[in-house]
């Protein structure tokens, strides 16, 4: 029986258009904008000024506090200044504008040949590595748990439709990826390391098994959404359940994405800070979808200019299930950007909701075993107390419930609102 979790859904994976396309290097236009916040935690402090010359790999923003991650220039050129630009949420944040000289001169850190566990953690922190699967949680924090770690879980599931960035990474950089995974294992002093890959990627499973040489257990996962959810992949691979409001480390696990492991390889073995990543451009409105190795700070509008695009009604950063719908294409590539999708009318589900018919489908697919219809129902009645009884805080916002709802009720929006209000109330009381 294939490793998996309970419940979930089976959306069309829509990966066929890009899965066999080798990632191309996509170099930025005349200017990049490096966001000072590309991570969960405090924004960085700028460490450059207008007129400063920089190389790719020069630090331009220094982490403020433990849960924060340094940011780096992705090009060589001259700093134009600090500007405010919209990020993917539409919120304006500070970016370092850099005029690209097109030379791509690099500043690397010294290569570490046989680093200790602490040296790996220090390098990960210096290189500004965050969760490249999109969570953007600073990786050095994850590598400093206050509990012993038995299992390192590497997430190669890539369960969101359309995206083939992790797939291409596994196909093209298998050997380097294995080195990065083993560095993470050493940093955590974990006993076991599992790499989970959905079984709709048989060539990647084969490729990674070839490079792993039994040092890493490569496990095919049943293709099912949200197989790449942290709690879901832990359960699929170890049968351990992370209790409500607890973290993977509480059951002796750390989960890292394949992109993160590759960034660790680059930082330790190549001395390269985190300013480049694999990314997919796809969606029905993109005539020539592609996989790219792209640099941070490149505006989405500059990427789209290089594509033939038809009418689209929704631009999404990340996957169609959990990604963020973009108000415009002003945002730039960050460390956590796995894809940019331009979706047509035919690819978007009807959003005009009707009344709940109590069919329970939303409950039957929920990987967290929640009752979304009850949370939504009580939120509509402005009864937060009752909604809370149905545990919205445990929702991982995977969108499976809304996907199957025949009444097209935007269940995730209701649940998000409930979570926000519960958290706000908690912080007011504390």
362 scored as a contact of ligand SF4 (CB under 6 A): yes
360 scored as a contact of ligand SF4 (CB under 6 A): yes
Furthest CA-CA distance within the chain: 62
Which CA distances in Å does 38 have to 42, 61, 166, 337?
Answer: 10, 10, 19, 10
Instruction: Let me know: does 15 contact 164? Beta carbons within 8 Å.
Output: yes
Stretch that binds ligand SF4, among 162-170, 174-182, 189-197, 410-418 (CB under 6 A): 410-418
How far apart (Å, rounded) are the C-alpha atoms in residues 159 and 200?
Answer: 9
Instruction: Let me know: does 141 contact 67? Beta carbons within 8 Å.
Output: yes
Q: Which is nearer to ligand SF4, 79 or 374 (CB)?
A: 374
Taking the alpha carbons of 305, 32, 280, 314 in that order, is the dihedral positive or negative? negative
10 scored as a contact of ligand SF4 (CB under 6 A): no
Q: How far is the CB of 51 from ligand SF4 (least distance, A)?
A: 48
Stretch that binds ligand SF4, among 297-305, 378-386, 392-400, 420-428 (CB under 6 A): 392-400
Q: Which is nearer to ligand SF4, 201 or 361 (CB)?
A: 361
324 scored as a contact of ligand SF4 (CB under 6 A): no
The residue within the footprint of ligand SF4, chosen from 167, 409, 418, 419 (CB under 6 A), is 409
Stretch that binds ligand SF4, among 87-95, 129-137, 217-225, 358-366 (CB under 6 A): 358-366
DSSP state of 43: P
3-state SS, residue 144:
coil
Which CA distances in Å does 59 have to 49, 94, 315?
Answer: 12, 15, 31
Instruction: Let me know: does 35 contact 41? Beta carbons within 8 Å.
Output: no
The residue within the footprint of ligand SF4, chosen from 163, 204, 395, 418 (CB under 6 A), is 395
370 scored as a contact of ligand SF4 (CB under 6 A): yes
379 scored as a contact of ligand SF4 (CB under 6 A): no
313 scored as a contact of ligand SF4 (CB under 6 A): no
**Which H or E element spans position 423?**
helix 411-429
The residue within the footprint of ligand SF4, chosen from 114, 146, 352, 358 (CB under 6 A), is 358
Q: How far is the CB of 387 from ligand SF4 (least distance, A)?
A: 12
Q: Which is nearer to ligand SF4, 9 or 264 (CB)?
A: 9
The residue within the footprint of ligand SF4, chosen from 5, 120, 399, 419 (CB under 6 A), is 399
Angle, nearest 10°, between helix axes 174-188 and 258-269?
90
Q: How far is the CB of 418 from ligand SF4 (least distance, A)?
A: 10
Span between the terminal Cα atoms of the chain, in Å: 47
Q: Which is nearer to ligand SF4, 171 or 409 (CB)?
A: 409
Instruction: Let me know: does 304 contact 342? Beta carbons within 8 Å.
Output: yes
Phi, psi of 353 (to 5 degrees): -80, 150
356 scored as a contact of ligand SF4 (CB under 6 A): yes
286 scored as a contact of ligand SF4 (CB under 6 A): no
401 scored as a contact of ligand SF4 (CB under 6 A): yes
How far apart (Å, rounded) are the C-alpha atoms in residues 377 and 356?
Answer: 9
Q: How far is the CB of 83 from ligand SF4 (least distance, A)?
A: 35
How far apart (Å, rounded) are the C-alpha atoms in residues 252 and 343?
Answer: 40
Instruction: Let me know: does 188 contact 143? Beta carbons within 8 Å.
Output: yes
359 scored as a contact of ligand SF4 (CB under 6 A): yes
Stretch that binds ligand SF4, among 86-94, 186-194, 308-316, 359-367 (CB under 6 A): 359-367
Number of residues that bind ligand SF4 (CB under 6 A): 27
Q: How far is the CB of 58 from ligand SF4 (least distance, A)?
A: 41
Instruction: Let me know: does 249 contact 151? Beta carbons within 8 Å.
Output: no
The residue within the footprint of ligand SF4, chosen from 65, 243, 327, 406 (CB under 6 A), is 406
Q: How far is the CB of 366 from ligand SF4 (least distance, A)?
A: 3
DSSP state of 394: G
How far apart (Å, rounded) are the C-alpha atoms in residues 84 and 33?
Answer: 10
397 scored as a contact of ligand SF4 (CB under 6 A): yes
Instruction: Let me know: does 39 contact 137? Beta carbons within 8 Å.
Output: yes
Binding interface with ligand SF4 (CB under 6 A): 356-362, 366-368, 370, 372-373, 395-401, 405-407, 409, 411-412, 415
């Amino acid at each position: 029986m294939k490793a998996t979790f309970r419940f979930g859904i089976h959306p069309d994976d829509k990966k066929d258009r890009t899965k066999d396309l080798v990632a191309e290097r996509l170099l930025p236009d005349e200017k990049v904008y490096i966001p000072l916040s590309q991570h969960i935690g405090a924004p960085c402090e700028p460490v450059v000024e207008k007129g400063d010359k920089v190389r790719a790999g020069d630090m331009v923003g220094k982490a403020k506090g433990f849960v924060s991650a340094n940011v780096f220039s992705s090009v060589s050129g001259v700093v134009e200044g600090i500007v405010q630009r919209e990020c993917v949420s539409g919120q304006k944040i500070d970016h370092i504008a850099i005029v690209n000289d097109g030379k791509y001169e690099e500043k690397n850190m010294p290569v570490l040949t046989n680093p200790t566990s602490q040296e790996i953690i220090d390098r990960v922190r210096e290189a500004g590595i965050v969760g490249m699967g999109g969570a953007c949680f600073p990786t050095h924090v994850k590598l400093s748990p206050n509990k012993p770690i038995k299992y390192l879980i590497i997430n190669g599931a890539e369960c969101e439709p359309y995206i083939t960035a992790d797939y291409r990474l596994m196909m093209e950089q298998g050997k380097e990826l294995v080195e990065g995974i083993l560095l993470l294992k050493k940093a955590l002093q974990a006993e076991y390391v599992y790499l989970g890959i959905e079984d709709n990627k048989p060539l990647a499973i084969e490729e990674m098994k070839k490079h792993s040489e039994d040092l890493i257990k490569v496990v095919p996962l049943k293709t099912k959404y949200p197989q790449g959810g942290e709690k879901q992949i832990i359960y699929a691979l170890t049968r351990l359940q992370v209790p409500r409001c607890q973290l993977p480390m509480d059951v002796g696990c750390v989960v890292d994405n394949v992109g993160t492991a590759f960034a660790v390889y680059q930082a330790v073995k190549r001395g390269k800070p985190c300013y480049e990543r694999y990314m997919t451009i796809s969606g029905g409105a993109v005539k020539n979808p592609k996989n790219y190795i792209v640099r941070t700070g490149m505006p989405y509008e500059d990427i789209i200019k290089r594509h033939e695009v038809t009418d689209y009604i929704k631009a999404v950063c990340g996957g169609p299930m959990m990604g963020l719908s973009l108000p415009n294409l002003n945002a730039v590539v960050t460390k956590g950007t796995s894809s940019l999708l331009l979706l047509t009318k035919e690819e978007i589900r009807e959003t005009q909701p009707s009344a709940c018919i109590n069919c329970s489908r939303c409950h039957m697919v929920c990987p967290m075993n929640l009752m979304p219809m009850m949370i939504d129902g009580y939120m509509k009645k402005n009864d937060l107390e009752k909604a809370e009884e149905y545990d919205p805080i445990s929702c991982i916002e995977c969108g499976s419930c809304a996907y199957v709802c025949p009444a097209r009720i935007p269940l995730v929006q209701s649940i998000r609102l409930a979570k926000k209000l519960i958290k706000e109330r908690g912080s007011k009381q504390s």
